[in-house]
Structure 1
Amino acid sequence: MNQSNKIFDGLGRVMNEAAGVADGVRREVETAVKSQVQRLVADMDLVKREDFDALRELVQVQGEEIDTLRKDLAALKGGSGKAK
């Protein structure tokens, strides 16, 4: 009985060490993949989300201003009696 306990204890230690090694390998692979993805994204020269959202908002505001100016211009052309 004592011999089988030693065998199971040894087997348990080996399993724990193997799990620790596997976890270390997993972390190393995650780090390597993350590094490669970050490098790839940096090489693609992508726009940050915050910059995109700010530019989109600016374009919307300018679009509204252009529409207002077009209406004002149309009203001025209509009021002067000159139609083109």
Structure 2
Amino acid sequence: MQTENRLFDDLAKILNGAAGTIAGMGREAESAARERAREWIGGLDFVSRDEFEAVKAMAAAARDENDALKARVDALEAKLAGGTAPAA
């Protein structure tokens, strides 16, 4: 009876060791895949969020300036044409 228990104990140790090894391999594979993805994405021409927000703000400012200049041009054209300037 003692030998059967020892056999089961040894078998349990082997299975626990194998499970630990498999889990470690899984973690290592996941880490390697993440690193490869970072390398691949890093090689592409993505912009950071800060750069995107800065360009977006500059575009909004340029759009506002363009609208103001268009209103001035329209007023000047109206003045040259002899009409009255539109209310801005």
User: Do both share a fold (TM > 0.5)?
Assistant: yes
The answer for the alignment partner of 1:65 in structure 2 is 65
Q: How does 1:1-84 map to 2 (within 5 A)?
A: 1-81=1-81
Residues matched between the structures, number:
83
Tell me the CA shift for residue 15 of structure 1. 1.9
Which structure carries more helix by proportion? 1
Question: Counterparts of 1:4 and 1:27 in 2: how far apart (Å)?
Answer: 35
How far apart in 2 are the matches of 1:65 and 1:3? 89
Q: Percent identity?
A: 29
Q: Tell me which structure has the larger Cα radius of gyration.
A: 2
Letter in 2 for 1:76: L
Q: Quote the RMSD (CA, aligned, Å).
A: 2.1
Deviation at 1:63, TM superposition (A): 0.9
Gaps of 5+ in 1: none
For 1:82 and 1:42, locate their aligned partners in 2 and report how far apart those are by CA, in whole Å. Answer: 60
- The answer for unaligned runs of 5 or more in structure 2 is 84-88
**Distance in 1, Cα, partners of 2:33 & 2:82:** 67
TM-score scaled by length of structure 2: 0.75
Greater relative CO (CA pairs within 8 A, separation 6+):
2
Deviations 1:44-82 (A, max 9, x none): 232122211221121122112111211121112212326
Question: What TM-score do the two structures reach when normalised by structure 1?
Answer: 0.77
